[in-house]
Amino acid sequence: MRVMKFGGTSVGNPQRIEEVGRLVSDSTPKIVVLSAMSGTTNDLVAYSEYLYKKDHSKAKLLLESMRNKYYQVADELFQSEEYRSHSHRMIDSHFDNLDEFNRDMFTQHEEKTTLAKGEMISTALMTYHLQEKGITCALLPALNFMRIDKDQEPDNYYIRENLQREISQYPGINLFITQGFICRNAFGEIDNLKRGGSDYTASIIGAAIEAEEIQIWTDIDGFHNNDPRFVKKTSRIDELSFNEAAELAYFGAKILHPTSVRPAQDKNIPVRLKNTLDPDSPGTLITGKVTGTGIKAVAAKDGITAIRIKSDRMLLAFGFLRKVFEIFESHRTSIDMIATSEVSVSMTIDQTDRMNEIVSDLENYGTVEVVPDQTIICVVGDMIGESRGMAVQALEALRQIPVRMISYGSSNNNISLLIKGSDKIEALNSLSNHLFQGR
């Protein structure tokens, strides 16, 4: 069995939905994971913001324009009156439900239900479309098997057992459709795997069914060696190792959700990135194998805050770092980068909701400085530590840009550099010119 995940653009209009229908309807057994149609989750986020602000008229306008857009999609996608009215009823049931939130109290609970609607609608549309074409398939509701625990981690045992049970209800069926992104939490409430989370769904499902391959279909021909949103000349990488891909995804390569590599890596399942707009292109293959040496790619993660704590008490003191780390642990905030000197330690975090508490706890141990709006540039490749001059090349490329922190040598495949957010585009372009000329 394989898993095929299609992102928002891949199901972004009726033609694209038909194209995905063609791509999935051969006889190989598969679970197809779909995102919401592009733009929908952003709209649902905007809708939630209006409701939190009690801006009922703007909320209503947005909702009705979304509802009309979906009617149009349905009218174009379906040939028969039967399927058109069937899909209009499905669309109405979701939008009527959303409309109720505009009249009642709106809390985090309703917000999570709101955000889930995009995937519910896209999967229903795809299932009807395949059925109208006479292709046998079944819709597996993700809320019946996808679950995170109280630490927000996938509850793998629950997922495996419940997914198997769902599948076993359809003997002889080879094509299953399910929602990416959405899940239930430890309390059984509707929740999600964070923005871009459909990749994570695909990987978790792939691991649960021990799939032969997990395919992530998107709007670009694979993993590129730099961020195509900010750098003009980038090129596709044929193969990456799990570690390289995980590092790049975690440090900002939007093509993969930050934690989506790990479930596949745990079960050694190949992940293939493919382009829906050019299905014959080979894409990028991510496996346990390390190929090539040298720097392969760079990525950038925005919204980073640097925290430095300076203390004479650190000098020759045992257990100072443990105390510092415990503060972050107690506030459930993870540290991305760290650098130490005799009397100070600098760290970066990307989650700032507990910032004030963290700073006030750290102040018990020394002087604390907080610098927001930083970016981590992550340079990834194989054996960076051992290849001659790799770090020098990366630093040489950033000669004109002030670097606040460097992390190098903790693994064989990564150098991380902390710069000001406003220097990011220049840094990515300069790295591209220095490292990937001619590629």
* Site residues for ligand ADP per CB under 6 A: 7-10, 35, 196, 218-220, 223-224, 227-229, 253-255, 299
Q: Which stretch binds Mg ion (CB under 5 A): 5-13, 301-309, 333-341, 369-377?
A: 5-13
Overall size of the chain counted in residues: 439
Residue nearer to Mg ion on the CB measure, 122 or 407: 122
224 contacts which partner out of ligand ADP, ligand ASP, Mg ion, none, CB within 5 to 8 A by kind? ligand ADP
Residue nearer to ligand ASP on the CB measure, 176 or 181: 181
- Look at the block and give the residue holding tokens 């993993």: 223
The footprint of ligand ASP on residues 61-100 (CB under 6 A) is none
CA 240 vs. chain centroid, Å, equals: 18
- CA dist 321 and 329 (Å) reads 12
Q: Which stretch binds ligand ASP (CB under 6 A): 23-31, 99-107, 189-197, 359-367?
A: 189-197
CA distances from 108 to 50, 52, 113, 190, 411 (A): 13, 9, 9, 10, 39
- CA dist 252 and 297 (Å) reads 12
197 binds ligand ASP (CB under 6 A): yes
- Closest by Cα among 189, 146, 151, 149 to 3: 146
The footprint of ligand ASP on residues 270-309 (CB under 6 A) is none
- CA dist 52 and 35 (Å) reads 25
Contact (Cβ atoms closer than 8 angstroms) between residue 309 and residue 344? yes
Q: Which stretch binds ligand ASP (CB under 6 A): 195-203, 242-250, 367-375, 382-390?
A: 195-203
- CA dist 78 and 182 (Å) reads 26
38-57 mask for ligand ASP (x: CB under 6 A)? ---x----------------
Contact (Cβ atoms closer than 8 angstroms) between residue 39 and residue 73? no
128 binds ligand ASP (CB under 6 A): no
Residue nearer to Mg ion on the CB measure, 272 or 308: 272
Contact (Cβ atoms closer than 8 angstroms) between residue 362 and residue 368? yes
283 binds Mg ion (CB under 5 A): no
Q: Which stretch binds ligand ASP (CB under 6 A): 15-23, 171-179, 191-199, 372-380?
A: 191-199
Find the shortest distance in angstroms from Cβ 38 to ligand ASP.
8
The footprint of Mg ion on residues 7-26 (CB under 5 A) is 7
Q: What residue type is assigned to position 37 of the chain?
A: M
260 binds ligand ASP (CB under 6 A): no
- Token pair, residue 180, equals 């990416």
Find the shortest distance in angstroms from Cβ 161 to ligand ASP.
25
Applying CB under 6 A, the site for ligand ASP has a residue count of 12
Three-state SS for 114? helix
Q: What residue type is assigned to position 399 of the chain?
A: R
- Token pair, residue 183, equals 């899940």
73 contacts which partner out of ligand ASP, Mg ion, ligand ADP, none, CB within 5 to 8 A by kind? none
Tell which one of 12, 118, 206, 381 touches ligand ASP (CB under 6 A). 118
253 contacts which partner out of Mg ion, ligand ADP, ligand ASP, none, CB within 5 to 8 A by kind? ligand ADP
Find the shortest distance in angstroms from Cβ 188 to ligand ADP.
27
196 binds Mg ion (CB under 5 A): yes
β-bridge mates for residue 297, sequence order: 380
Find the shortest distance in angstroms from Cβ 301 to ligand ADP.
11
- CA dist 200 and 206 (Å) reads 10
9 contacts which partner out of Mg ion, ligand ADP, ligand ASP, none, CB within 5 to 8 A by kind? ligand ADP
Residue nearer to ligand ASP on the CB measure, 160 or 254: 254
Which three-class secondary structure string do you get for 321-341?
Answer: HHHHHHHHHHCCCCEEEEEEC
Strands across the sheet containing 239-241:
138-140, 175-179, 30-34, 2-6, 213-218, 271-275, 284-287, 239-241
CA distances from 5 to 11, 23, 436 (A): 11, 11, 30
Q: What DSSP string runs through 161-184? A: HHHHHHHHTSTT--EEEEESSEEE
Find the shortest distance in angstroms from Cβ 176 to ligand ADP.
20
Task: Give the binding site for Mg ion (CB under 5 A).
Answer: 7, 196
For binding to ligand ASP (CB under 6 A), which residues are involved?
7-8, 35-36, 41, 118, 180-181, 195-198
